[in-house]
Structure formats: C-alpha cells, structure tokens
A and B are shown apart, each in its own frame.
Chain A
Amino acid sequence: MVRPTEFKIAHRATEASVTLTITGELDLSTGPVLSESIELLRRDMKALTLDLSELSFMDSTGLRLLIELDQRAKREEWKLVLVRPQYETAAAVLTATGADAALPFEDAAP
C-alpha cells in the first residue's frame, strides 16, 4: 500500500456539518494550512468531521492541533468527530499519546 505523502484537504459541506478529509502528512509544515482552513470555515460551523483515514503521518504539532480543536469544540459547543487514520504511521502517534481514547473518534465505520 502506497502511503499518500502529498498534503490535501478535501472539503464537503452539508447544511448540518462540514467534513474535511485530510490526505498526506499532518506536521509542522502542513498543520497551519489545516488551522487556516478550519478558521475560514469556523463562522457557521455547527459540526466538523475531520476524516483522518487517509492521513499517512502525524507529528506532535498535528496532534496538538487536534487537541486544541477538541477543546475549542467543547468551549464553543459544536460537535467534533474524528475518523481514525488507517495508516499505522499516523495511528501510532494517537495510540502512543493516549489521544485515541481521549479525543472524539468515531467508532468503527458504519
């Protein structure tokens, strides 16, 4: 399986929610792009799904971004849902840091 390395954000919005599908590597160089995208969408956002299934790598800055997002969602009372990365290189960070249990990951795919 070839891991995607190029960073991409696909944006899908319905009335109820916004879904961002992130492909590639979420790290200190791409993290700000994701932050900026979320910042732009933030105004009318009621629910945000971050689909990380295509994420091939994540470092601590990427993780920090997810934690910040989770805290903000709770503070601003909107719903954040995360979809687990399928690649071990990204999933490992979540396991190693306890983020997989603490962050609002969607349970098994429907």
Chain B
Amino acid sequence: MRVMAPTLAEFILDRAHSAVVSMDEQGVVTAWNPSAEVTFGLSRDEALGRPVAELIIPEDLRDAHREGLRRFLATGESRLLDRRLKMRALRADGTELPVEFTISALEGDGHWSFHAFIRDVSERADADRERERLVDELNRALRGSERRFEAIVGSLSDAITIRDHEHRFLYANPPAVAHLGFASWEELRDTAPDTIMSDFLVWDENGGEIRMQDIPSVRILRGEEAEPLLIRTVHRETGVQRWNLLKAAPLLGEDGEVEATITIIEDVTDQKRAEQRGAFLAEASEVLASSLDYEQTLRNVAQLAVPEVADWCAVDLVDDDGDRIKVAVAHIDPERLSLAEELRAYEPERLDPDQGLGFVFRTGQSLLYPEIPEPMLVAAAVDERHMELIRAVGLHSGLVVPMRLGARILGALTLVTSESHRTLDQFDVQLAEQVAARAAVAIENSRLYSQRSSIARTLQQSLLPDQLPEVPGFELASVYLPAMEGSMVGGDFYDVWALGGSWMVIIGDVTGKGVEAAALTSLVRHTMRSASEFLSSPAELLAHVDSTLKNRPTLSVCTALCLRLDGDRATLAIGGHPLPLYVTGQEVTKVGEHGPLLGAFTEAAWEDTTVELEAGSTLVAYTDGITDAVDEERGRFGLERLRDALRGAAGRPAADVAGALTRALAAFQTGAHADDTAAIVIHRPDPVGAPVSQGHDNRLAGVRRGQTD
C-alpha cells in the first residue's frame, strides 16, 4: 500500500460500510477490514496471508480471477478495474452471496497492490428476487388464462400498471408506458416514481391539486379504501392535457398482505371533452341568443371561449378589403386584459393574405399553432415594447378559426393559451369552429336586427288603415300602441271595410316575429277582405282564414275577431281572441262565444253571435296587449281595470272612449309596451241615423275548404 498515515487508513477501513479486501501481485490477502469479517464470516487473522481466490471467490470463477490477474500484470489491461461490478462471492461457511464491488490497482515500490471495496447486496437482491418472483407469478397468473389475458390486455387501450409496495413499477403495458411519457418499458422501470409524478401538473375534477399520496394505489398501500379518482393532467413539457380515471386494486400475497397494486388508467379525455363540449356549446348558444345588441354580442363571443377553450380570445371582423376590424378581446385574468388589449393595438389592420388572420380571412380555413415558436414572435414584434408585451402575455399555443356564414366570412376568432400552458390541438380547433359558427349566426342576426326590426315595425304599421272609414250611424275610433322598439313581437292588426250595405270590422293578433309576422298579418287581412265578397258569415270567414293558415308550411296562428255591422245589429265570431265588451249605461258585459285560435287546431269550428246595439251603447274590441299590460310590480292591467275605464267613459263619443282607455293604460304602465296594444271602439250615438237591415241567426259554421282567396 502507498504511504498513508496508518491511523487514518485504519480508521477509515475499520468504519467503512463496505468490506475492503486488499491483495498483492500473488493474489494474497494483505488487508481485511471489520466489514469483510462480517460479510465473509472470516476474521482478519484467518484471512491475512491466504489467497483471495480460495477465500471469497466461488470455485467456478477462480480460474477467471487468476487469468485476469496474470494478464493485468503482463499487459496492464483489465476488464475489471475501477468499474462497479456485480458478482457472486463465497462465504467461509461455503454459501454464496451477491456482491457489488469495485477494484482499484495501485502501484508502489515497483509492485502492484489491489484493493476491492465490496458490498453485500443480498438484501437488495432479495427484494429483486421477490420482484422477479412477483412478476413471474403475475405473468403466470395472467398467462394462466393466457389467450384471454393476451386478448384482454393486448386489445385494451387502457393503460395498466402494477407497482410493488415501494411503488416501483413491476409491469406496465405499452399504453401505460406511452401514457406516462416514456419511450420504453425499461426506461420507465428505471425511473423513480416521484420523478414521473413531477413531470405532470395534476388536478382533481374540481381543480384541487393531486399529490402522490392521493393516488389510489398509494392509498391502498396505506391500507385505505381507494375510490376511483378522476384526474386531469397537463404534461409540463408538452402541455398535453388528459383526463384519466384511476382505478386501483390490491394484489394480495399468500399471507394476505398487500404485495402490489394494480392500476387501470382509463383515458377518458375524449369523453370528458365531449361532455364539456356539449355543455359548453349549449351555454354558448344560450349566451349568444341572449342579446340582439350587436356590440354586446361581440363581447359575448369573446368571453365565451375564455377559459373553456383558451386563456384569451380576440374577435376580428373582416371588412370589404379583406382587412380586419378589431372588435373585442377577452382574457382569463382580468388584470392582464389590459396587456392583451395593448398587445392588440400593435397588430396591423392590413393583413398578409398568406398567413395568420389574413390567411384565414382569405381561405376560410382554420390555423393551429400547437406551439408558437419564439422566432415567429420576434419576427412579429414591431418594437421593444411590443416584444415586452408579447413576452408578458406569454403566448404558448394558438389557433385561428373563421366565423363564416355559408361561403361568406364575417371574421375570425383568435384563441391563445398562455398561463394554463395547455397545448391546443385539433379537438380545440373543432370546438372553436363550432363556437365560431354559432358566433357568426349571432353576429349576423344582431347586425341585421336593428335594420330588420325597424323594417318589420314599419311594415306592420303600414298594414293598419291610416284612418277608419266613416260608417253611417256609427262612430268608430281606434287605439294602437306599438310594442317597444326591439321587442320583435308580432303585430296586432285591425281593419274596417264596406261590404254592400254592411260593414266589416276585424281585429286580431298575429303571434310571430318581425317580418314574418307582418307578412302573416298581410295574408290574414287580404284573405278576410277577399273572402268577405262571397262569405257573409263572420264564423265562415274565420273558418276560411283558419284553413288558409293551416295550408302554410310553418305554424301560422292568429287570433281574430270578425264583426259585421248591419244597421243596429252586430254579428260577430271570435277565434282565440278576447271577447269584446258591450257598454250600456254603467253596465259592461262580455259578448260573443269563444272559438278556437285560427291556424292552430285540426278540429275547429266557430259560431256567429248577434248583438243588438242600443242607441248610446259602445262595443269595444281589443287585443290582449291591454289586459296583459304590466305595471312596476308585475301586476297586470286586467279586465277589471278595463271595465272601470270603459264605465268612466260610458255614453261618450268613440274618440273619448279611446282616449280614456289610452290614459288609463298610460297611468298603469311604467315603461313602454311589451306587446302591441290595439282596440276598436264602435259607438252608436243617440239618435240613430242608419237604416236597419235584416238580422242574422246564431249558427254554427262548418269548416269550408278548397276555396281560394
């Protein structure tokens, strides 16, 4: 040995955990420390001076040992020196033990000495053997029903792992290996469980952090019951997000102790995402339908995608030149919204038609950037502040999808992930495309809306007579209060026309929206007017309108009151409309019979009612806009208030009655009318001046079909 303070050398050797055995060029033991005594069961005195080969090298390895020593001394070559090796060693009692050792050679005084540091690894080897046994057993157990196991495990896309009580992997099928982010089983096996876990960000369903001790298999090892656990993982490096259902069960040894755990990792990402997508799209439809306000709709679109799809979302519309109009931006973190907005201010209005937004506007195709490369950002930066902003917002992954309506492209949604570190994929593109499709419809609707609603309103009102004709012997007045701007509710209508010696009065309410409702109103009035040329009974007229409406491809319903004035007599039929009120003196009574709504029901019939109109009496036909009018406390105007108003104006000229009605409504109602409100007041002044024509009996009208209007 080289010069070394004997006390220090002895000190170290005596306390070394490893067995230290030294030998000379002849292979004779020159040093033997206390650990060597324990490991090999031989005292220092017994060992010193004897050949190493006879003491600790199993017989079958001795020749190789001698040959190695000879070759080294002759050539200086060795395959063993300074390497960590595993081998069997021999104990004094003749048994063998597994050892790990390193040998170093030292030269001094022209002679070589060799020093072996040897560790008894039989304990570890026991564990290894135990593992092997377990794996064998598992394999046997699994292969016991060999074909079945192969069929099951082989075709399972679910990842399956088996881990021992120290949580090391004993088995992992190929999906499990891939799932955990490893290239091979060997690589996985040799990696510490903690390291694997730290590759992922892991949350439970509610966003709570999941640690190693929460994993079902670890809980089972602690002797706890472990329910299946749904976790969401994001790989720190790749940003790939997955949803997994972990189901673990114990594998018990013969003694009933938990020897290992088996975990099935079910990848429920697609299900979970489909589930989320369904819920999300339902919500999206609702949110987008909730406003017809153009600006609000655009803001809603931007808000929608955050944080469901991405961390921030920008909405751009395209102008006629293919350039962008920046309209809205939303960010997951309100504090960073200003950053995103400032960043947006840097983006040019003019676009390169071959990339990014310009490309999407031009081609209508979506773009996906799973990772936004740094050079792309640097190239895009206009100045230092811009670059600073880009870095501060932290662009990780992005996509651009068109908002299209048929072949027309209205704009695009740009979605970017930053803080969530999530990598967007094709699934996100599909989801974004669906959001964009809905957004396009909502944007177009709200854009057309203001325009269309005013058209509808104008159309509706133009369908009403400018002024009511003079009807001999009667005073007529009307009330018409259009619904508030933007309610898009269908219209009330009324009309009065002469028919030979008598007069027709109609009032009704079309339920529908906008232009469609206006068109329906026009149809109903036109049908009534033309049919009245050959049908004299109001009930028959309603039946005719009913069949006309039923022949339309879409549900077209309306309420109507049809009344014919002949002298002092009124004949009327009612289809789903409020009964008119007849006012004599202070008495206000309903007249007529309820009949079904027009255009609604297959079996339907109407009845004519004849009413004598006394001198000084008033008949008021109205739409439900009056009785349904709402006050601050959501109380309704109702029939009683209407009766009161009419009583107050009893016997007065028609125009006064209409005025009283309007005032009573105005006093009651707080805001604008939610619905159209209309009324026709027919007053028969005293004395009577009109001739009296023949009366009509009440009779049931049949539904007449096949007549054209």
**Chain A residues near B (Cβ < 8 Å):** 5, 25, 27-29, 32, 36, 40, 57, 59-61, 63-64, 67-68, 71, 89, 93, 95-99, 101-102
Known A60-B559, A67-B555, A102-B601; contact A97-B576, beta-carbon cutoff 8 A: yes
Can you give 18 contacting A-B residue pairs, CB < 8 Å? A25-B634, A27-B628, A32-B289, A36-B289, A57-B628, A57-B636, A59-B624, A59-B628, A61-B489, A64-B555, A67-B601, A95-B594, A98-B595, A99-B596, A99-B600, A101-B596, A102-B600, A102-B604
List chain A residues, Cβ under 8 A from B602: 102
Interface residues of B in 580-596 (CB under 8 A from A): 594-596
Whether the Cβ atoms of B597 and A63 lie closer than 8 Å is yes
Whether the Cβ atoms of A96 and B577 lie closer than 8 Å is yes
The 8 A CB mask of B624-664 against A (1 = contact, 0 = none) is 10001000001010000000000000000000000000000
Whether the Cβ atoms of A60 and B600 lie closer than 8 Å is no
Whether the Cβ atoms of B282 and A60 lie closer than 8 Å is no
Least CB distance, B632 to chain A, in whole angstroms:
12
Known: A96-B577, A98-B594. 12 other contacts (CB 8 A): A28-B487, A28-B489, A60-B624, A64-B511, A64-B555, A67-B597, A68-B555, A93-B624, A96-B594, A97-B597, A99-B601, A102-B596
B557 interface residue per 8 A CB criterion: yes
List chain B residues, Cβ under 8 A from A98: 576, 594-597, 600-601, 604
List chain B residues, Cβ under 8 A from A27: 628, 674
Whether the Cβ atoms of B636 and A67 lie closer than 8 Å is no
Chain B residue with the shortest CB-CB distance to A72: B555
Chain A residue with the shortest CB-CB distance to B576: A97
Least CB distance, A63 to chain B, in whole angstroms:
7
List chain A residues, Cβ under 8 A from B624: 59-60, 93
Known A28-B675, A71-B555; contact A60-B511, beta-carbon cutoff 8 A: yes
Whether the Cβ atoms of A96 and B555 lie closer than 8 Å is no
Out of B289, B557, B577, B579, name the residue touching A64 (CB < 8 Å). B557
Q: How many B residues, CB 8 Å from partner?
A: 31
**A98, B277: Cα distance in complex, Å:** 42
Least CB distance, A55 to chain B, in whole angstroms:
14
List chain A residues, Cβ under 8 A from B120: none
Max chain B C-beta neighbours (<10 A), residue from A25, A59, A93: A59
Chain A residue with the shortest CB-CB distance to B601: A102
Interface of chain B: mostly helix, strand, loop or mixed: loop
Whether the Cβ atoms of A60 and B509 lie closer than 8 Å is yes
Whether the Cβ atoms of A59 and B604 lie closer than 8 Å is no
B286 interface residue per 8 A CB criterion: yes
Whether the Cβ atoms of B597 and A99 lie closer than 8 Å is yes
**A97, B598: Cα distance in complex, Å:** 9
Least CB distance, B560 to chain A, in whole angstroms:
11
Least CB distance, A90 to chain B, in whole angstroms:
11
Of all A-B residue pairs in the complex, the 5 with the closest CB atoms, nearest first, are A98-B596, A97-B576, A102-B601, A97-B597, A60-B511
**A101, B487: Cα distance in complex, Å:** 31
Chain B residue with the shortest CB-CB distance to A71: B555
**A57, B630: Cα distance in complex, Å:** 12
B60 interface residue per 8 A CB criterion: no
The 8 A CB mask of B244-277 against A (1 = contact, 0 = none) is 0000000000000000000000000000000000
List chain A residues, Cβ under 8 A from B595: 98
**A34, B576: Cα distance in complex, Å:** 22
Least CB distance, A4 to chain B, in whole angstroms:
11
Whether the Cβ atoms of A36 and B509 lie closer than 8 Å is no
Least CB distance, B551 to chain A, in whole angstroms:
14
Out of B285, B559, B579, B600, name the residue touching A67 (CB < 8 Å). B600
**A54, B274: Cα distance in complex, Å:** 36
Least CB distance, A69 to chain B, in whole angstroms:
10
B578 interface residue per 8 A CB criterion: yes
**A91, B636: Cα distance in complex, Å:** 15
Least CB distance, A99 to chain B, in whole angstroms:
7
Chain A residue with the shortest CB-CB distance to B557: A64
List chain A residues, Cβ under 8 A from B579: 96
List chain B residues, Cβ under 8 A from A95: 594
B166 interface residue per 8 A CB criterion: no
B603 interface residue per 8 A CB criterion: yes
**A101, B603: Cα distance in complex, Å:** 10
List chain B residues, Cβ under 8 A from A60: 509, 511, 559, 576, 624
**A60, B517: Cα distance in complex, Å:** 13
Interface residues of B in 363-390 (CB under 8 A from A): none
The 8 A CB mask of B534-576 against A (1 = contact, 0 = none) is 0000000000000000000001010100000000000000001
Whether the Cβ atoms of B603 and A102 lie closer than 8 Å is yes
Least CB distance, A60 to chain B, in whole angstroms:
4
**A47, B397: Cα distance in complex, Å:** 46
**A36, B284: Cα distance in complex, Å:** 12
List chain A residues, Cβ under 8 A from B576: 60, 96-99
Least CB distance, A6 to chain B, in whole angstroms:
9
Whether the Cβ atoms of A5 and B594 lie closer than 8 Å is no
Max chain A C-beta neighbours (<10 A), residue from B559, B576, B577: B576
Known A61-B511, A67-B557, A97-B596; contact A36-B286, beta-carbon cutoff 8 A: yes
Least CB distance, A80 to chain B, in whole angstroms:
14
Interface residues of B in 459-501 (CB under 8 A from A): 487, 489
**A5, B595: Cα distance in complex, Å:** 28
List chain A residues, Cβ under 8 A from B596: 97-99, 101-102
Chain A residue with the shortest CB-CB distance to B606: A98
List chain B residues, Cβ under 8 A from A96: 576-579, 594
Interface residues of B in 49-90 (CB under 8 A from A): none
Least CB distance, B678 to chain A, in whole angstroms:
13
Whether the Cβ atoms of A63 and B604 lie closer than 8 Å is no
Least CB distance, B642 to chain A, in whole angstroms:
14
Least CB distance, A105 to chain B, in whole angstroms:
13
**A32, B603: Cα distance in complex, Å:** 28
**A68, B489: Cα distance in complex, Å:** 17
**A64, B576: Cα distance in complex, Å:** 11
List chain B residues, Cβ under 8 A from A40: 282
**A60, B575: Cα distance in complex, Å:** 13
Least CB distance, B549 to chain A, in whole angstroms:
12
**A93, B277: Cα distance in complex, Å:** 40
Chain A residue with the shortest CB-CB distance to B278: A40
Least CB distance, B75 to chain A, in whole angstroms:
83
List chain B residues, Cβ under 8 A from A29: 674
Whether the Cβ atoms of A63 and B594 lie closer than 8 Å is no
Max chain A C-beta neighbours (<10 A), residue from B282, B489, B509, B628: B628
**A64, B517: Cα distance in complex, Å:** 13
**A61, B675: Cα distance in complex, Å:** 10
